[in-house]
Copies of this chain bind each other. A is one copy, B any other.
């Protein structure tokens, strides 16, 4: 099972930033594989989504890059800039909070808000 693609919207950049926070440096293809691996194939990041996203993050100043050659093949590593590290914490925490709120929404019987003070 793979999640319908609209769910990933809005979460991609945060996922990428989080991976880079844990792994120092990664290249595009590696990121797609890592996400597949970590989610048991449930989340597949397409290249058409990833590369533009990486480029955007770089232009925003959150990522820095270094190119490496493996034989004749290029490999472009991305790392978090200092700003990127700060921003990553913010975005990860926001997304995490959002997930909690959504989980609460989906699990509660919304007909009766009860004393369900969602934090």
Contact pattern, A 24-66, Cβ under 8 Å of B = 1, otherwise 0: 1000000000110111101100000000000000000000000
Interface size on A, residues (CB 8 A): 47
Distance A34 CA – B119 CA, assembled complex (angstroms):
16
| Residues of A contacting B: mostly | helix
Chain B nearest CB: distance from A103 CB in Å? 5
B4, B15, B103: the one contacting A105 at CB < 8 Å is B15
Question: Across the interface, which residues of B come within 8 angstroms of A101, CB to CB?
Answer: 3, 39, 42-43
Question: Across the interface, which residues of B come within 8 angstroms of A42, CB to CB?
Answer: 97-98, 101, 118
B24, B97, B102, B104: the one contacting A11 at CB < 8 Å is B102
Which of A's residues lie within 8 Å of B, judged by CB? 3-4, 6-11, 14-15, 18-19, 22-24, 34-35, 37-40, 42-43, 92, 94-111, 113, 116-119
Beyond A39-B105, A95-B102, 20 additional contacts (C-beta under 8 Å) are: A3-B97, A4-B10, A6-B9, A7-B11, A7-B95, A15-B105, A18-B106, A22-B109, A22-B111, A23-B111, A34-B110, A37-B113, A38-B110, A38-B113, A38-B118, A39-B104, A40-B119, A43-B101, A43-B105, A100-B103
